[in-house]
């Protein structure tokens, strides 16, 4: 997504995928050999995303996210659903200076940090990784340990594994949903206009579902979307766009 004030003045560019990777400075596989004595203090983990203006949204959380945040589609191959957290580059209006969430529901992408399932060295199998750049990592016992003295996974780490695996399954379902939207040609280039104290501002470089195209679908296509629960996600995305006004009200 990108935005501009007064047409092209002070334009800013935001590559969603780069922003995602910026949260993880040094993601490395979790191993007992490397992390035997490591503890994780996640009290301030959201501070790592303070300059991220959009995060992925999974299909299972569409309803909860859509109550508070705008959901749009960004990127390519296919365009994926993201929750908009700020309208300018490096702007996150949902995380305060203390690293605390200003809303009610925290998207799963942020809750899984500093962990992530990722592939390494050409291996297609996903491995649980941890961001060693996360400031909450320590060897003083603050927070949760990853392993016992005998090398067994702690209950905390077992929970992390379950969460990240569930997230990955949800990601695959969400990607399938996004691919179907493209196949049905339901997406259109979109923009949002705001009147800020500094002047007019336009957010662009994203896509949204086209209501007119949705209404023109064949009965069998609508039935397919209904039975797969995709139609519920479609209407949640459209309704969520009303949240742009609430988000912009947080701009100083």
Q: What is the pLDDT of residues 187-200, one digit of tens each?
A: 999 999 998 888 89
pTM of the model: 0.89
Lowest mean pLDDT among 50-59, 70-79, 121-130, 214-223: 121-130
Q: Please give the distance of CA 115 from its chain centroid, rounded to a whole number.
A: 14
Q: Is the peptide bond before 78 cis (omega within 30 degrees of 0)?
A: yes
Q: Does 7 score more than 60 pLDDT? A: no
Structure confidence at residue 10 (pLDDT): 35
pLDDT value, residue 45: 82
* pLDDT-derived band at 77, boundaries 50, 70, 90: confident
Q: Which 3 state secondary structure label does DSSP give 106?
A: coil
d(CA 222, CA 228): 10
- The single residue listed with the structure tokens 């379950």 is 162
Q: β-strands 71-74, 80-84: how paired?
A: antiparallel
List pLDDT tens digits, range 139-185: 999 999 999 999 999 999 999 999 999 999 999 999 999 999 999 99
Q: In the structure, what pLDDT confidence band is assigned to residue 20 with cuts at 50, 70 and 90? A: very low
- Of residues 10 and 231, more confidence is placed in 231
pLDDT at 8: 40
Cα 171 from chain centroid (whole Å): 11
Q: How confident is the model at residue 125 (pLDDT cuts 50, 70, 90)?
A: confident
pLDDT in tens, 212-245: 999 999 999 999 999 999 999 999 999 999 999 9
9 or 85, which is more confident?
A: 85
Would the pLDDT of 18 be above 70? Answer: no
Quote the CA–CA distance of 16 and 190 in Å, as a whole number. Answer: 16
Would you state the pLDDT for residue 5? 59
């Amino acid at each position: 997504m990108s935005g501009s004030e007064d047409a092209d003045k002070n334009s800013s560019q935001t590559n969603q995928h780069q922003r995602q990777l910026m949260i993880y400075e040094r993601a490395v596989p979790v191993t007992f050999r490397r992390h035997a004595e490591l503890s994780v203090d996640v009290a301030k983990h959201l501070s790592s995303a303070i300059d991220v203006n959009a995060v992925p949204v999974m299909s299972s959380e569409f309803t909860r996210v859509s109550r508070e945040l705008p959901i749009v589609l960004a990127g390519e191959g296919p365009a994926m659903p993201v929750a908009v957290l700020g309208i300018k580059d490096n702007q996150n209006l949902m995380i305060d200076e203390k690293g605390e969430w200003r809303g009610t529901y925290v998207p799963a992408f942020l809750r899984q940090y500093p962990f992530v399932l990722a592939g390494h060295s050409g291996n297609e199998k996903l491995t649980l990784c941890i961001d060693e750049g996360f400031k909450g990592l320590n060897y003083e016992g603050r927070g949760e340990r990853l392993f016992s003295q005998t090398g067994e996974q702690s209950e905390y780490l077992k929970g992390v594994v379950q969460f990240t695996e569930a997230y990955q399954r949800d990601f695959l379902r969400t990607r399938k949903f996004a691919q179907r939207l493209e196949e049905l040609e339901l997406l259109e280039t979109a923009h949002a206009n705001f009147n800020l104290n500094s002047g007019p501002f336009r957010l662009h470089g994203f896509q949204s579902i086209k209501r007119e195209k949705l209404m023109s679908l064949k009965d069998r296509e609508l039935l397919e979307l209904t039975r797969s629960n995709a139609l519920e996600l479609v209407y949640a995305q459209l309704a969520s766009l009303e949240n742009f006004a609430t988000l912009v009200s947080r701009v100083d």
